[in-house]
Structure 1
Amino acid sequence: MKYSELLRSALVESGWSYSQVVERCKVHNKNVSRSYLSKISRGFMPPPSDEVNKALANVLSPVTSLTYERLALAKYKEIIPDEVLKAIASEHEGGQHEKL
């Protein structure tokens, strides 16, 4: 599932308006504008920073099935180039683990 679809689904599931989510994000020390939230949830902007995702997950996870891990996974699936994702998958399937 695309990041925007995942976030939009959680917003609908919560029953909250963008304004309500934005206000709740402030409690988690993350200022997110209503306009920005609208744009990322509709796919008009790329997925946000991990800090914003953590705030969104903290706000939405108590009332929805959304988790930070699901948001992060959806984000990185979109921003990591396909060839890198394929290399990660093939390395994982082959049981090879490179030490950093």
Structure 2
Amino acid sequence: MKYTEILKANIMASDLSLAQIARRLEKNGINIDKSYLSKLQNGKIPPAGERINDAIAEVLGIDKLELKVAAYREKIPQDVLEKLLIS
């Protein structure tokens, strides 16, 4: 599953608005706004970094590793990913 798919599905399942998620993230020391979350879930920007993904996963109550793996899969250049899969 793609990063955006995981994020979008879990945001919808949480019944939280993007503003509510942003406020909860802020309480955990992550200062991002709802427009950033919207861009993440719609693939307008690359996947977030590890710290933000951990915090998002915690707020949404999902597996941190699943979200991070999806993010890394999309960030790793294709030639490097192919080499990793062969090794």
Structure number with larger C-alpha Rg = 1
Paired position in structure 2 for 1:18: 18
Paired position in structure 2 for 1:44: 44
- Taking structure 1 as the reference length, what is the TM-score of the superposition? 0.82
2:74 pairs, out of 49, 55, 78, with 78
Return the offset for 1:32: 1.1
Between Structure 1 and Structure 2, how many residues are aligned?
87
Return the offset for 1:58: 1.1
1:87 and 2:75 correspond = no
> Structure 2: 5+ residue runs without aligned partners?
none
Return the letter of the residue paired with 1:35: S
1:44 is paired with a residue whose SS is coil
Runs of 4+ residues deviating >4 angstroms: none
Q: Would you tell me which structure has more helix in proportion to its own residues?
A: 2
Return the offset for 1:81: 1.2
- Taking structure 2 as the reference length, what is the TM-score of the superposition? 0.94
